[in-house]
Structures are given as structure tokens and as C-alpha cells.
Chain A
Amino acid sequence: MSGGLATRLVVARDTGFTLDAELAILPGRTVALLGPNGAGKSTAVAAIAGLLPLDDGYVRLGDKALDEPREGQFVPAEDRNIGVVFQDYVLFPHLSVLDNIAFGLRSRGVGRHAAAESSRDWADRLGLAGLHARKPVDLSGGQAQRVALARALATHPELLLLDEPLAALDVTTRAQLRRDLIDHLSGFAGPRLVITHDPAEAFLLADEIHVIEAGAITQVGSPDEIRLRPRTKYIADLAGSNLFSGVAANGTVAVGAHTLTIADTHAAGDVLATINPRAISIHRHRPEGSPRNAWQTTIVRIEHHGDRVRLQTGSPLPLTAELTPVAVADLVLRIDEPIWLSVKATEVGVDAD
């Protein structure tokens, strides 16, 4: 747990695909590698974990070079001290929960008794007490995820690598497990890397997001920077779905000082609210009728993306709105101009956080 991860991953695949991505993570920080399927995320996991040798670049963890082709340096996976939570968890189906957690310790030469004791501790810490003897097939998705996490953490790794840690879970349990995962991540002192295709996951788990597309990093920034200033169409599309943490009560969601009206009157407590940029209407004057959510704000930025124009609005609730060029021209919109904005209550998505 001495140092951070610094890596430049260059891997050429037979298919013509090349990954070339640079990443640096300080201890105690969580970085998300966010990208669509086929962007090279899994290749990156395999390369950092040591399951796939680099063609060029380097993987350094603390002061150790784990893979550096130009120096002829390669440390195989079993000699790296990296905890990996794999996509679909990849628990050993023939081993019990406890034996799964103990696997790393036993492989690293810890005695049977000590390994079992340590595994019990980890199992209990992750809320798996009472499931010690279960086989993976008898676990729920959330339990399996925690076993995978315990298994990865039990060997006290210097780096924690999580590949789509929430993708295998159903929507109802995902929110709770996401919160638990944030707790577990903050309990790990080393650098953490979360691989995901889900922007919500990246925004909520990471201190910093690296967006990867077609093998290359296209944008690096804090979740807010990525969300508010997307640099490519992919990021704009996925980040543009305005996302807020809020507290729901009586058909409203409080996001900071601002309150949004929502259609779902039963939602209560911590929620994740989303608004599709295309569902936002822009007006020069106060809209007529009675849209529940309407407020005056200013235009912070105008971006042109082919047949779409994206507007970034300012306080009280910064949003991304998407309009057609014709609409923008009709409204004669300019930066720093005051405008009115409205969103129907039914267009505010609410997801238990």
C-alpha cells in the first residue's frame, strides 16, 4: 500500500485493435475507466493484472516496474500483488465461500489454519457471516460480489481493480450495493481502478474518470468536468443524461437547494434523479401553462454537434439540454443570456440510490 499506479498500456490485438492508454492513480483515490463495450477496458484489466503482456509502455506500482517491455521486465500475474474483482466475479464454483476467500492466502503460502481464520474475518467484515460453507451457485448476486471483494482484499493487495463490479446485479439491489461498495473502497488505502460502461457507476464511485474509446483515452477529469464539459459525442451522449443525487419526499426531489417535482409520489429517501437533455425545453420568456419544473437561468456554453446543439445552463441546477440547430436559431440564444427552462415532472427519472 506504499504507492500509486502509473501505467501506459499499449497492447496490439490480432484484430487490428490497439489499446494505448495512460493512467495514473494515487493511493486512496478511485479512478474509473469509463467506456463503451469494445473500447479496450477488459484488455486494460488483463494488462494491469498481468494476464496479458504489454507490447509497449509500462505498468508501475509504487516503485516496482511490473511490466516494461523495453526493459525486458515482466512480472507474471501470480507475482503481482493486485486484487481483482472480475466481471461476473469469477468465483471458483467448486470451492465454498470461505475457501474462495482463502484461495489467495493459501496460494501465497499462508498456512491452512491462519488462512481460514483470516478468511472468516473478511467474510464477517463484508457481511457474509453464516454463508461460509455456501457454494457460489447458492449465492445471490450481491453476496457473490461481496465474496469476490473479500477474496480480492484478503491478500492485502497494493492495487484494487474492479471490472464492472455492479453490472451483474439486478437494478433493485444495485443502488444499495453501490453505496456499500463506496464504503468498502474508501476502506482500502491503495489506488483503486473501477472499470465500467455505466456512467452512473463512474460518476458515483470515482474521484476521477478516464474515458476510453476505441483503445484511446479521450477525456480525463472529475465527474463534474466530464459531465458538464464532454469532449466527444460518446461522452456527451452518456454524460448528457443529467444525473443528480437527491432526497425524495412527497412527489419532489431536493437537489441541493433546488427542488424538482417528480411524477412518482411514492419515492422517498436518497434517490438518483436523471433528466434526458432532449426532454428539456428552452424559452425566451416564462413558459405559459404550468410545467411543474420551470426556472430562470443563464446559458453557460453552446456546443454544436452536427445536427444537435448542446446547451449548458447555470445555477440553480446546472443542466445539459439538447436542441435542434433550427430551434437555437429561432430562439436567438447567446452565452450569458438569461433564458427560461422547463422539464415535465414525468421526464424526471427517479432511481433509488
Chain B
Amino acid sequence: MSSRRARIQARPPVPLIALAVVGVSLFAVPLIGLAMQTPWTDLLTLLNGDIVRDAIWLSLLSATGATAIAFVLGVPLAWVLARVEFPGKSLIRGLVLLPLVLPPVVGGAALLFALGRRGVAGEPIYELTGLVLPFSTWGVVVAATFVAMPFLVITVEGALHNLDGKFEGAAATLGAGKWTVLRRVTLPMIAPSLISGLVLTWARALGEFGATITFAGNLQGRTQTLPLAVFVALETDRDTAVALSLGMVAISLAVLVVLRDRWWRSL
């Protein structure tokens, strides 16, 4: 009986396998294309150029900054969405998720009109503080936060929904105030989701292109992140573009490996 089941399991339906293979090819073939274009012998020299170094540094910096802001703002937002009932909640949730479906360029333009020097919110900020977000590294961080924070919010909100309120109740009966409950029970219990949310957010911020170039512009060392550098290098220097792309693939793979235990294995 058990051996028959094993045999059945060992022979999955052929059409399913065929479609799966096509699906995987969609991901694998572009990588092969990239690898075939790669000037392997000059790779180290190319990756050592100052454009590449600046872009990698700026990308890591802005993605990490965006993730930190997303954590500080996104966790409370997720908590409010998961735990507080108020009118217009679904509207707020829709708003939070909008950047997921909005083309990033549109998001970037919206940010430009809102937070630019002449923008609705940007003008008073500029007059008061002299801070100009576009064309600054802060602008890159804001753009990345805009597109990436929804990933954290949905992941954490989902985890909070799934977390049985009885644990927080039990903590309260043991004398824990709201803040202690959040710190010692809620957050530790959703830690796996929180971590994968943070990694997803970071990965999305790292890959961010459209909103960044539209809102923050493109200047080496200040606003030119890896994706922007790849895009610009495609115009002038294919080899560098390919080397940069390969760098992005390497970083992305590293992120997925970190996620391995937390995310895809449990999926």
C-alpha cells in the first residue's frame, strides 16, 4: 500500500511538469542571457570602478534606511490596521497597498508633486527647513520607503491577525502594560513574519528604480542606486551594466538565502 503510494507520488502528471519547467525557464533563461553577456575576465576590474562602488554603497544605505523607516512607521500602522476598528479602515488599507499596484514611476511623479520643492507638502518643508528631498539621498530613501513599506505592513498585519489575542490577554493578567505586551509578547511572537517582512521590504527597496529616478533623480554618489546605474550604463557601457546587473543578482540571491528558513521552506 505504502509502496504504491510512493510510486504514485514519484510519477506526477506530465502536463504539470511541462508547465512547471516552462515557468522555471521564465526565471532561468534571462539569468543565462545575463551570464552569457558577462565579461567574466574583466569582472573584478569592472566591479571595482567608482560608479559601481558608489552605486552599491548608496543602494545598501538607502535600502537599509528605507527598511528602518518602514519598521518604525509600518509596524504601528500594521498594528492599528489589525487591532483598531475605525470607520474608513478599508480605505486606509487600500491606500497602504496602493504602491504595490501603482507603477513606481507614477509613485515617483506623485512624490515629486507632493514632496518636491514646489509640492503640496514639500514647499512648506522647504521654506521651514531648507530641505529639498528630490536630488538628495533622502529622496532616494523616501522613494524606496514609499514602494517597499507596504510589504512590511501586509506581512505584519497578517501575522497580527493570525496571532491569537489570548496571549496578549494572558500577558495583561500577569501585569504587563500595553507597551510591555507589544515588546515582550506581540513582537517576539510575530518575529518570523516580521523578519521576512523586513527582508522583503529591504529587497524591494534595493530593486527600486522607477520612483527613485522620477522623484530623486540620478546623480552618481548621491542618488544613483544600483538599478539606476545599470539603466544608465546600458546607454554607454554595456560591460559595466552587465557587471552591475550581476552584482544585483548576487545580492538578491543572498537575500533569498537568508529568507530560506523563514520563508520559502515554511511556505
Touch between A and B in complex, CB under 8 Å? yes
Which residues on A are within 8 Å of B, measured CB to CB?
46, 49-51, 76-84, 86, 90, 92-95, 103-104, 107-108, 151, 155
A11 to chain B, nearest CB (A): 15
Report whether B172 and A108 are in contact in the complex, using a CB–CB cutoff of 8 Å.
no
Report whether A108 and B175 are in contact in the complex, using a CB–CB cutoff of 8 Å.
yes
B150 to chain A, nearest CB (A): 27
Report whether A92 and B169 are in contact in the complex, using a CB–CB cutoff of 8 Å.
no
Report whether B191 and A82 are in contact in the complex, using a CB–CB cutoff of 8 Å.
no
Which residues on B are within 8 Å of A, measured CB to CB?
166-167, 169-177, 180, 184-185, 188-189, 191
A224 to chain B, nearest CB (A): 33
B247 to chain A, nearest CB (A): 37
Given contacts A92-B185, A92-B189, A94-B189, contact A151 B167 (CB under 8 A): no
Contacts of A86 in B (CB 8 A): 166, 169-170
22 sampled A-B residue pairs with Cβ under 8 A: A49-B173, A50-B173, A77-B172, A77-B173, A78-B175, A81-B175, A83-B173, A84-B170, A84-B173, A86-B166, A86-B169, A90-B170, A92-B170, A92-B171, A94-B191, A95-B188, A103-B174, A107-B171, A107-B177, A107-B184, A151-B174, A155-B175
Contacts of A83 in B (CB 8 A): 173
Report whether B167 and A90 are in contact in the complex, using a CB–CB cutoff of 8 Å.
yes
Question: Helix, strand, loop or mixed for chain B's interface?
Answer: helix
Report whether B174 and A104 are in contact in the complex, using a CB–CB cutoff of 8 Å.
yes
Contacts of B173 in A (CB 8 A): 49-51, 77-78, 80, 82-84
Report whether A107 and B175 are in contact in the complex, using a CB–CB cutoff of 8 Å.
yes
Q: Which of B174, B188, B189 has the most CB of A within 10 A?
A: B174
Contacts of A95 in B (CB 8 A): 188
B191 to chain A, nearest CB (A): 7
Contacts of A78 in B (CB 8 A): 172-177
Contacts of A77 in B (CB 8 A): 169, 172-173
Q: How far is the CA of A95 from the CA of B183 in the complex (A)?
A: 13
Q: How far is the CA of A77 from the CA of B171 in the complex (A)?
A: 9
Contacting residue for B172 out of A50, A92, A151, CB 8 A: A50
Contacts of B171 in A (CB 8 A): 92, 103, 107
Chain A residue nearest to B164 (CB atoms) is: A90
Chain B residue nearest to A52 (CB atoms) is: B169
Contacts of A51 in B (CB 8 A): 169, 172-173
Q: How far is the CA of A51 from the CA of B174 in the complex (A)?
A: 12
Report whether A76 and B166 are in contact in the complex, using a CB–CB cutoff of 8 Å.
no
B39 to chain A, nearest CB (A): 49
Given contacts A46-B169, A77-B169, A86-B166, contact A93 B189 (CB under 8 A): yes
Q: How far is the CA of A104 from the CA of B185 in the complex (A)?
A: 12
Chain A residue nearest to B178 (CB atoms) is: A78
Report whether B174 and A76 are in contact in the complex, using a CB–CB cutoff of 8 Å.
no
Chain B residue nearest to A48 (CB atoms) is: B173
* Besides the known contacts A80-B173, A90-B169, 5 further A-B residue pairs in the complex with CB atoms under 8 A apart: A51-B173, A90-B166, A92-B185, A93-B189, A103-B174
Contacts of A94 in B (CB 8 A): 188-189, 191
Q: How far is the CA of A155 from the CA of B184 in the complex (A)?
A: 17
B85 to chain A, nearest CB (A): 12
Contacts of B184 in A (CB 8 A): 103, 107
Contacts of B189 in A (CB 8 A): 92-94
Contacts of A108 in B (CB 8 A): 175
Contacts of B180 in A (CB 8 A): 107
Contacts of B166 in A (CB 8 A): 86, 90
Chain A residue nearest to B169 (CB atoms) is: A51
Contacts of B176 in A (CB 8 A): 78, 103, 107
Contacts of B170 in A (CB 8 A): 84, 86, 90, 92
Q: How far is the CA of A93 from the CA of B171 in the complex (A)?
A: 12
A149 to chain B, nearest CB (A): 13
Report whether A155 and B174 are in contact in the complex, using a CB–CB cutoff of 8 Å.
yes
A195 to chain B, nearest CB (A): 14
User: Which 3 pairs between the two chains have the least Cβ-Cβ distance?
Assistant: A104-B174, A77-B172, A107-B176
Q: How far is the CA of A305 from the CA of B161 in the complex (A)?
A: 47
Q: Which of B169, B170, B173, B184 has the most CB of A within 10 A?
A: B173
Q: How far is the CA of A86 from the CA of B185 in the complex (A)?
A: 16
Q: How far is the CA of A83 from the CA of B170 in the complex (A)?
A: 10
Q: How far is the CA of A94 from the CA of B170 in the complex (A)?
A: 14
Chain B residue nearest to A161 (CB atoms) is: B173
Chain B residue nearest to A87 (CB atoms) is: B166
A145 to chain B, nearest CB (A): 14
B196 to chain A, nearest CB (A): 16
Q: How far is the CA of A133 from the CA of B171 in the complex (A)?
A: 20
Q: How far is the CA of A76 from the CA of B172 in the complex (A)?
A: 8
Chain B residue nearest to A99 (CB atoms) is: B184
A75 to chain B, nearest CB (A): 12
Q: How far is the CA of A25 from the CA of B19 in the complex (A)?
A: 68
Q: How far is the CA of A107 from the CA of B171 in the complex (A)?
A: 9
